Amino acid sequence: MLKSKLFKRYFLPGFLFQSIVIGGGYGTGRELVEYFLKYGPLGGLFGMILTTLIWCAVCAVTFELARITHSFDYRTFTRQLLNRWWFFYEICYLAMMLLGLSVIAAAGGSIIERISSIPYNGGVIGIMFCIGFLVFKGSSFIENILSAWSLILYAVYFILFGYTFSFFLTESPPPFLFEIRQGWAISGIKYAAYNLVVIPALLFCIRHIQTRKEAFGAGFLAGPIGIIPAFLFLLAMTNYYPSILNETVPANYILEMIGSLPFQVIFQIVLVGTLIESGTGVIHAFNERLSSVFIERNSQMPLYLRPLIAIGLLTLAYLGAQFGLENLISKGYGTVTWAVLFCYVLPVISVGVWKIRKYKRIHFTQ
């Protein structure tokens, strides 16, 4: 299935998007508390729906613009979109990449220390090695690994929801289930915006898409594929609302309340793998961006350079991880969210749509 043309053209972009987006904050539940659940269970659900709609629209336009301009790395794509101002996106991507990798390092080191006798620093080094290895293997290998692991992740999140499903079958649901707090819409937009910075990072897989129908189809599927695990996680966390709002790692809290030791181990192993695939995705995109420069100069990027760059970036991320998971998510992401809106989201839904319509008119009249 993972190698079929249908999967690669319609579903692969969505699974890669979900693989990169989930990261350390989404996967641990901290982001979902910060951007959704703290606005009430129903407010959080409305925020997720808004996030999904924005993701669908921006992914669809991005994929089609990448297809018609043959822009399969973010440097080429943003030069098509922003012309001489493309470097603004570069700044945002670098900031988000280092911030995201810091979250991954902080979460991964803590989880490995928790489930094994390996110390925190040893866990971080292990994650660095795994990411470096995957980055070295190249695009096709990364596509297969990330999409396969996403399916495993889906299964684990369905099981997590299954443990708390009985909570939603009570005859008289508690009043807080319908709680909506002011600010859910702005928070949904912010969450959508700062995650959208990674969409150009997965353009290496758009080379499989050949038609406008496939580009739009993949874009509209990417939103739901990216948000479904978060939705299941939100429902599971609702069972422990509002006490879970104060937990730094909500996933650990839920696992302790469930009390199933085998599932605790499985969930955290899968989460570590998810952190690795998220880090791999953003670093591979950065390498593809560097590779495009070598190609412009009629050269080829040396293979050894890819894992070296991964190690260098992860070393910087390790230093950033010292600020702590909660501070990185609550303060760091908000700082660059609005920059992403202005240098990518707004241009893609204005300039991007205009270029797609112009391309359609030119080819229709020929």
- Closest by Cα among 46, 40, 37, 49 to 179: 40
Per CATH, the number for 5-365 is 1.20.1740.10
Higher pLDDT pick, 320 / 279: 279
The overall average pLDDT reported for the chain is 83
pLDDT tens digits, 52-69: 999 999 999 999 999 999
Radius of gyration of the chain (CA): 20
d(CA 232, CA 161): 6
Lowest mean pLDDT among 17-31, 34-48, 244-258, 330-344: 330-344
pLDDT band at 366 (very low <50, low <70, confident <90, very high): very low
- What is the per-residue pLDDT for 283? 86
pLDDT tens digits, 190-209: 888 878 878 887 888 898 99
For the cut 60, the answer to whether the pLDDT of residue 222 exceeds it is yes
Q: Residue 73 region, left (φ>0) first, then alpha (ψ -120 to 50), else beta?
A: beta
Q: Residue 29 region, left (φ>0) first, then alpha (ψ -120 to 50), else beta?
A: left
d(CA 190, CA 206): 26
- What is the per-residue pLDDT for 324? 54
Helix (H) or strand (E) holding 102: helix 87-115
pLDDT tens digits, 108-146: 777 788 777 788 778 877 887 888 888 888 778 888 888
Beta carbons within 8 Å of 236's beta carbon, 6+ residues apart: 160, 161, 163, 164, 254
pLDDT tens digits, 76-118: 898 889 888 888 888 888 877 877 787 777 777 777 887 777 8
For the cut 90, the answer to whether the pLDDT of residue 38 exceeds it is yes
One-letter amino acid for residue 162 of the chain: G
Higher pLDDT pick, 341 / 363: 341
- Closest by Cα among 235, 224, 95 to 169: 235
d(CA 247, CA 188): 21
The DSSP 8-state label assigned to residue 73 in this structure reads S
The torsion angle over the Cα atoms of residues 55, 226, 333 and 125, rounded to 10 degrees, is: -150
- Tell me the pTM: 0.83
Helix (H) or strand (E) holding 77: helix 74-82
Higher pLDDT pick, 311 / 212: 212
Percentage of the chain modeled with pLDDT above 70: 89
Scanning 239-304, the segments in alpha helix (DSSP H) are: 250-258, 261-296
